[in-house]
Amino acid sequence: MSLYQHVPSKQDLLDLMFDEIAALNLFEDALPRRPRAALSALAHRTREVGLAHPWSIDVANSRPQLGPNTMRVLNEWTGAAMGLCSSEAAAWAIFTAVNDYVVGYTTREAARRRMAPKTAAEAKRWQGQIDTYLRQLADEGHLGNIESLLRQGYAAQDDNFVVGLDWLLDSIERQAPGGH
């Protein structure tokens, strides 16, 4: 309880912790110079940090995060995007589109990790139950677009983070307003 003599509330404590974690996202002088490479590096780092500290995803989504390290991260992202456009507003739009993709993907990935059983035996049983259910759905014949995927099983799907990020960055590079 003495902690609350220094920090007014649990939410304030989480905000301070989040801002410390935000510093882990910074590249500072090590950020690649090419805009696409910089955005990709920032995206990968954001994913890594989010998965290493999954609680931070919930904190980021609970209220605005405006700490000094968070502001430095936003500045770094926007600076990376500036190489693809001619205005801060366009750079902000690019950064938020990429960051929204990363946060959404990472949120789903973290949730999947939380729900997976912890022991090998439990995981095998859990996986078998899910795969049996998915094959039953496929066999009913009502889901033609995904039946072959369902038959492959829950864990058979590749991690498509990089593929999705590349699609997004390809589109941004083609369509960026005032691009270079």
Average pLDDT over residues 118-146: 91
pLDDT value for 63: 85
pLDDT value for 48: 97
Residue 88: pLDDT above 60? yes
* 15-70 tens-digit pLDDT: 999 999 999 999 988 999 999 999 999 999 999 999 999 999 989 888 888 999 99
pLDDT value for 86: 86
Average pLDDT over residues 9-17: 90
pLDDT value for 7: 82
| Rounded Cα gap, residues 90 and 172, in angstroms | 11
Q: Among 34-43, 73-82, 113-122, where is mean pLDDT lowest?
A: 113-122
Q: Which residue's entry shows tokens 């989480």?
A: 14
| Position with higher pLDDT, 23 vs 13 | 23
Residue (of 40, 12, 16, 25) closest to 170 by Cα position: 40
Residue 180: pLDDT above 60? no
| Rounded Cα gap, residues 122 and 95, in angstroms | 40
Average pLDDT over residues 7-22: 91
pLDDT value for 42: 97
Percent of the chain topping pLDDT 90: 67
Average pLDDT over residues 112-140: 90
pTM: 0.85
Domains in the chain, start-ordered, CATH in brackets? 2-118+169-175 (1.10.357.10)
Please provide the DSSP assignment of 152-175 as one string. H-GGGS---HHHHHHHHHHHHHHH
Mean pLDDT of the chain: 90
| Rounded Cα gap, residues 95 and 79, in angstroms | 9
